[in-house]
């Protein structure tokens, strides 16, 4: 069944590839990001490959709550409804705590957590009005445990957004909306994107953008509660990351 899917951070990386793969599966798209020229290029690319799809684009800076609410409303009005919202926009910037780069850590915190909160609020207003919807929160495998050095703030934001979504799922459980509004949390491992371009290319754990996003899309389409993606090796590594002694964890990461 065709769904209307809003994806934030859709101008590049995982968001853009999700848009391509969802369109190939027959879904309509609402694409949001700051870089409008890239959104326009992606829209043209998708419509050239799938001319029967509907693709709406809207500039949204997720650190501007007013822009988030206005943008979600405009996209819903243009497409008639929003069946699924993928909270994907984020930053990978960060620095060791106490080294004079509070600015970088604050930017990451505001984008990844406060921005995700605004997106979740806007999405849930739509879903509560419709009494239907699917919220997808893109977290990270780094959310499973506190990470060191430049990853500390990033990992903390990803843990925060996972708890935000899981708290919402707990709220809905046992209510009349539990079967109508679904919540999925994704925990991606290393998937090639602009955000992690600095990661060593030769790491055996790095999945291609296409393969990694295919695993994300498959989990989203199943509307699972949570998923570590790609499943191999991340589903197997998840309990190790959660419970390994610190010495072992540091060697792993």
- Find the farthest-apart pair of alpha carbons in the chain and give their distance in angstroms, rounded: 54
d(CA 99, CA 134): 40
**Mean of pLDDT over the chain:** 94
Residue 146 makes CB contacts below 8 A (sequence gap 6+) with: 152, 155, 156
Bridge partners of 30, per DSSP, are 6, 56
Residue range 107-130: average pLDDT?
98
Q: Which residue, among 177, 181, 194, has the nearest Cα to 33 in the 3D structure? A: 194
**What are the structure tokens assigned to 57, written together?**
């684009």
Q: Which residues contact 243 (CB under 8 A, 6 or more apart)?
A: none
Closest CA to 9 of 84, 60, 45, 46: 60
Give me the half-sphere count of Cα atoms (radius 13 Å) on the Cβ side of residue 141. 24
Average pLDDT rounded to a whole number, residues 37-52: 97
Nearest-5° Cα angle at 192, 145 to 232: 60
The proportion of the chain whose per-residue pLDDT surpasses 70, expressed as a percent, equals 96
Q: What was the pLDDT predicted at 198?
A: 53
Residue with tokens 């008639």: 80
CA distances from 103 to 96, 154, 194, 195, 223 (A): 12, 13, 21, 18, 36
Where is pLDDT greater, at 196 or 71? 71
Identify the pLDDT of residue 195: 62
pLDDT at residue 204 greater than cutoff 80? no
Prediction pTM value:
0.95
b/e code 41-74 from CB counts within 10 Å (16+ = b): ebbeebeeebeebbbbbbebbbbebebbbebbee
Is the pLDDT assigned to residue 203 strictly greater than 80? no
Provide the pLDDT for residue 200.
Answer: 45
Q: Give the residue extent of every domain in the chain.
A: 4-252
Q: What amino acid positions are annotated as catalytic residues?
A: 154
CATH code: domain 4-252 is 3.40.50.720
pLDDT tens-place string over residues 125-163 = 999 999 999 999 999 999 999 999 999 999 999 999 999
Which pair of structure tokens corresponds to residue 232? Answer: 């191999």
Beta-bridge partner residues of 181: 133
Is residue 59 over pLDDT 70?
yes
């Amino acid at each position: 069944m065709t769904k209307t899917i809003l994806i934030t951070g859709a101008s590049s990386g995982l968001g853009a590839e999700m848009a391509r793969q969802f369109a190939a599966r027959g879904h309509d798209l609402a694409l949001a990001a700051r870089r409008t020229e890239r959104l326009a290029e992606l829209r043209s690319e998708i419509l050239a490959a799938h001319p029967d799809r509907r693709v709406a684009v809207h500039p949204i800076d997720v650190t501007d709550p007013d822009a988030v609410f206005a943008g979600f409303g405009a996209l819903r009005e243009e497409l008639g409804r929003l069946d699924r919202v993928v909270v994907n926009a984020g930053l990978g910037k960060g620095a060791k705590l106490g080294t004079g780069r509070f600015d970088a850590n604050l930017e990451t915190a505001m984008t990844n957590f406060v921005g995700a909160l605004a997106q979740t609020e806007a999405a849930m207003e739509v879903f509560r009005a419709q009494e239907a919807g699917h919220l997808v929160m893109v977290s990270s495998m780094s959310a499973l445990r506190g990470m060191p050095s430049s990853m500390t703030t990033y990992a903390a934001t990803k843990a925060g957004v996972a708890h935000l979504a899981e708290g919402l799922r707990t709220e809905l459980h046992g209510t009349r909306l539990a079967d109508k509004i679904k919540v999925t949390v994704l925990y991606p491992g290393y998937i090639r994107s602009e955000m992690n371009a600095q990661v060593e290319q030769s790491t055996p754990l790095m999945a291609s953008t296409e393969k990694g996003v295919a695993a994300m899309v498959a989990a989203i389409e199943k509307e699972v509660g949570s998923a570590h993606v790609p499943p191999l090796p991340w589903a197997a590594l998840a309990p190790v990351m959660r419970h390994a002694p610190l010495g072992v964890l540091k060697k792993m990461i």
